[in-house]
Amino acid sequence: MMRRAVLIGNPSVGKSLIFNHLTGLGVEVSNYPGTTVGLMTGIVRYNETEFSLTDLPGIYSLSGRSDEEKLVREYLVTGDADLIVAVLDAKHLERNLYLLLQAAEIRKPLVIVLNMMDDARSAGKIIDADALSKKFGVPVIETIATEGKNLEKIADYVIGDKLPVPGIVPRYDHHIEAAAKSLQKYHNLSEAESMFALENVPLSTLSPEVMESAAVISSEIEKRHMMSPDQIIGANRHNTAKTISEEVTTLSPPKKRRDLDSLLTRGFPGVPILIITMVGILGVVFLLGGFLEEAIISVMTTYLLNPFHALNLAPFLDTVGSAVILALMSGLGIAFPYVFLFYIFISILEDTGYLTRAAFLADRGMHRLGLHGQGLIPLVLSFGCSVPAIMSTRFLPTRRERVIASVLVTMLPCSARTVVISGIVASFIGFGAAFSIYGIVFILVFVLGCVLSRITPGEQYGMILEMAQLRRPIPKYVVRKAWMRVSEFLYIAMPLLLISSVFLGIFEYLGLVTMFESFIDPISTAVLGLPGFAFTALMFGILRKEMAFETLAIMGGTTDLASILSSSQLYIFALVCVLFVPCISTIAVLMREIGVKAAALITVFTLLLGTSLGALLHFVFMLF
C-alpha cells in the first residue's frame, strides 16, 4: 500500500513551496469532507517508489475553532497518515514549537523540517538541529526550501523502514497531568484526546460523556487555580517551547538589512505604493491580456472556426459544432490572457512577501465591509475574473468572511464586464457614462458590504497576520504556482462552457431562442425598456459576460448599436449586464466554495438587483 505523508506548520513557513517542489504539477485539489477547506494532495515519485503527500492548511494551534484548525486536528488524530512532516520557520522557532509540541502529543511518526535556515542565520540565530532532534526524539532536516536544499531527505524518511515516533512530553501542571491520566484510564483515550477534552476542544472521537466528565474535572481545576485548564495547558506549552528554543539556539549579531517595512507598512508612502502596485497590475493584465486574447481568438478563428465552417456539414452539426468551438475560444481567451497573467502577478506578490503588507494596510478599510485585510486579494482578483477571485476566498479565516467576499466579488466588474462597459457605453455614449457605471457599482458594493457585515451570521475575529520575509521570487516557482491555479480554473470552467454551448446550439437550431425572444419582448419592453432581442442577449451573458455584447450585435444585425438602441437603452443594457446573474462558471465555483444554497441566494439576489435597478433607470429616463 502506498504510504501517506502530511505537511503541517504555521502559515508562511514554506509548506507549499516544499509541497510544490516534491510533487511537481501532479496535484489534486479537494475539499475535506464536511468543510469548504481545500486540501492539496500530490504523488511523489522517488527512487522508483511512490507516496502521497498532502499539504494541510497553515495554522498556529490544534486547539482553535476555525475551519482550518478543526480540519487539521481531525486529520491528524483520525486520519491514516503514515508520517507527519512538521515544517518550522527557524527564524521564529519558539512560536513554531507550540504547534510542534501538540503534534508530538498525537504520538504518530513525525519528522521535523527546519526551514529558512538562511533567514535565521541572517537574524543572528544559530539552531542546533542535533539538540532539537534529541529533545523530540525524531530526525530534524535543515532546509532552505527556496533553493531546494535537503528536501529529498523528507522522501527518504517517508519511504524508509523506520518511522520515528516523538517521545517528548511538555511540562504540564500536576493537576492537569492527573486529570489527563484519569480521562485516559476511564474513557480509554489517547494522550492527545485527553488534552483536547480538558481544553473543551471538539473532536469526532470524543463522545458527549467524555466531554461531560472533562467539564466536571475542569471546573475543579479552575476553582483551584483561578484559571481554566485551556489557559493552564496553553501557558505550559508556551513555557516548554520557550525553554527548548533557548536551549537549542545560539545568538550572534544579526546582519544589517534595509528596513523596507518602514516604507511598505506605513500609511504614507505605503498606501500610495499599494495603489500604484494594484493599478499597475490591472493595467498590465488588461493591456497585455487584451492583446493576447485578440491573438488567441484570431488564430483559433483562422485555423479552427473557419475551416470547420468550410466543411459544409449538416445545419444541426454546423450549429452545435460552432457553439463548441466558440466555447473553447471563450474559455481559452479568458484563462490564458487574463487569469494566468493575474496569477503570475499574485504569485510574485506572495513569494516576495508583499501581499501580507498589502493586507495589513487594507485591514482598517476592509473592516467596514465585514472583512479583514486578506479580503483585499479576492476583490483585486475579481477585476480579472470572478472565478479565481472566488477560489481565493478559501484562504479567508472564517466562513462569514468567505460568504461576504464571494457576494462582493460577483458584483465587481470583471474583465468580461469591462468589455461590455467599454464596448457599449464608452464607444456609443461616452467615457463619462462608462465611468458612472463603475461609480454605481462601487457604491453598491460598499453599501452591500456594510449591510452584509451586520447581517451575515458568524463571529468576526481579529486578524492575526504574520509578515512574511521579503525575498526575491524564483521564476520557476512563480510560474508553477500560477499554472496550478489556472489549471484548476480550466477544469471547472471549460466543461461548463462546453456543455452550455452544446445546449445553446441545440436550442438555436430548434428555434427555441427565437421563441423565447418573441415571448419575452413585451415583458422586457415594459420593465426595462429593452426590446426582446436585447434581453435575449443578456441571457447569453450568463454563459460569458461579453457574449451579451457580441450576441446583441448579432441579433441586432449590426455593430453600430446606436442605430438600433437609444443611449438610455444602451446604458440600461450595460448596467443590467454588469449586475445581472453571474456567468455560469462563477455560479459553479460559488456552489463549490460556499454551498448550493448560498450560491442560489447570490444568483437570485443579483438577478433581482440588476433588473430592479434597470427598471428604476427606465422609469427615471421616461420622466426626463
Q: How far apart are CA 125 and CA 279, in angstroms?
A: 39
Asked if the peptide bond before residue 272 counts as cis, ω within 30 degrees of 0, the response is: no
Strands (E), 220-319: 249-251
| Residue 30 confidence (pLDDT) | 41
Strand order through the sheet with 38-46 = 27-31, 38-46, 49-55, 3-9, 83-89, 110-115, 140-142
Cβ within 8 Å of residue 249, ≥6 positions away? 93, 125, 126, 127, 128
Q: What are phi and psi of 514, to 5 degrees?
A: -65, -40
- So what's the pLDDT on residue 428? 83
Calpha distance 596→592 (Å, rounded) = 7
Give 151's DSSP letter.
Answer: T
Query: Could you please report the per-residue DSSP string of 355-381?
Result: HHHHHHHHHHHHHTTT--GGGHHHHHH
**Distance in angstroms (rounded) separating the CA atoms of residues 12 and 170:** 25
Closest of 385, 414, 373, 390 to residue 274, by C-alpha: 373
Cα 210 from Cα 193, distance rounded (Å): 10
Residues 6+ apart with CB under 8 A from 291: 337
Q: Which secondary structure element, helix H or strand E, spans residue 332, and what is its range?
A: helix 315-334
User: CA 483 to CA 331: how far, in whole Å?
Assistant: 15
For the segment 533-566, what is each residue's pLDDT rounded down to a tens digit? 888 888 877 876 767 776 777 667 676 788 888 9
- Report strand pairing: 83-89 vs 110-115: parallel
What is the structure's pLDDT at 273?
A: 86
Inform me whether the pLDDT recorded for 9 exceeds 90: yes
Helix (H, G, I), strand (E, B) or coil at 610: helix
Sign of CA dihedral 9, 12, 18, 24: positive
Cβ proximity of 137 and 168 under 8 Å: yes
Q: Which of 63-67, 68-72, 364-368 has the highest mean pLDDT?
A: 68-72
Burial of 480 (0-12, 13-18, 19+ CB in 10 A): middle
Q: DSSP letter string over 215-243?
A: HHHHHHHHHHHSS-HHHHHHHHHHHHHHH
Region 48-69: mean pLDDT is 87
- Return the pLDDT at 286: 66
pLDDT for residue 36 = 41
**How far is CA 499 from each of CA 70, 533, 592, rounded to the nearest angstrom?**
37, 23, 18
Sign of the CA dihedral running 543, 549, 555, 559: negative
Three-class DSSP labels, 74-94: HHHHHCCCCEEEEEEEHHHHH
- Exposed e or buried b for every residue in 260-295, given b needs 16+ CB within 10 A? eeeebeeeeebeebbeebbeebbeebbeebbebbee
% the chain with pLDDT above 90: 24
- HSE-up (13 A, CA, CB side) for residue 384: 38
- What was the pLDDT predicted at 108? 92
- In order of 59, 142, 419, 589, the CA distances from 387 in angstroms are 26, 38, 17, 6
Going from the C-alpha of 45 to that of each of 39, 155, 251, 489, 619, the distances in angstroms are: 20, 9, 39, 26, 66
CA angle 191, 103, 109 (to 5 degrees): 90
How far is residue 106's CA from residue 6's CA, in Å, rounded to a whole number? Answer: 14
Contact, 5 vs 158, CB < 8 A?
yes
- pLDDT number for residue 328: 77
Instruction: Tell me the HSE value of 508 on the side-chain side, using a 13 A CA sphere.
Output: 20
Task: For 583-596, write each residue's pLDDT tens digit.
Answer: 877 888 888 888 88
Give which of 416, 417, 406 is closest to 440, Cα–Cα: 417
| CA 595 to each of CA 402, 459, 544, 550, 590: distance values in angstroms, whole numbers, following the listed order | 11, 19, 22, 32, 7
Q: How many CB atoms lie within 10 A of CB 143?
A: 25
What type of residue is 532?
Answer: G
| Confidence at residue 443, expressed as pLDDT on a 0 to 100 scale | 92
Greater pLDDT, 160 or 485: 160
Contacts for 560 with CB less than 8 Å, ≥ 6 apart: none
Q: Which pLDDT tens digit goes with each residue over 280-334?
A: 876 777 677 767 877 887 888 888 888 988 888 888 888 888 877 876 776 676 5
pLDDT at residue 581 tops 60: yes
Instruction: Return the C-alpha cell found at 22.
Output: 516534491
- Where b means 16+ CB within 10 Å and e means fewer, 385-412 reads bbbbbbbbbbbbbbbbbbbbbbbbbbbb
DSSP state of 137: T
- Give the contacts of 302 (CB within 8 A, at least 6 positions apart): none
Q: pLDDT digit string (tens) for 488-498? A: 667 766 676 67
pLDDT tens digits for range 126-164: 999 999 999 999 999 999 887 778 888 888 988 888 888
Please say whether the beta carbons of 183 and 205 come within 8 A: no
Q: What is the pLDDT of residues 406-447, one digit of tens each?
A: 899 988 887 678 777 777 888 788 878 888 888 899 899 999
**For residue 85, what are the CA distances in angstroms to 7, 69, 151?**
5, 17, 11
CA-CA distance, 389 to 448, in Å (whole number)? Answer: 18
Q: Which amino acid is at 47?
A: N
Instruction: Give the CA count within 13 Å in the CB-facing half-sphere of 578.
Output: 36
The C-alpha cell that represents 329 in the structure block: 475560444
The helix/strand/coil state of 583 is coil
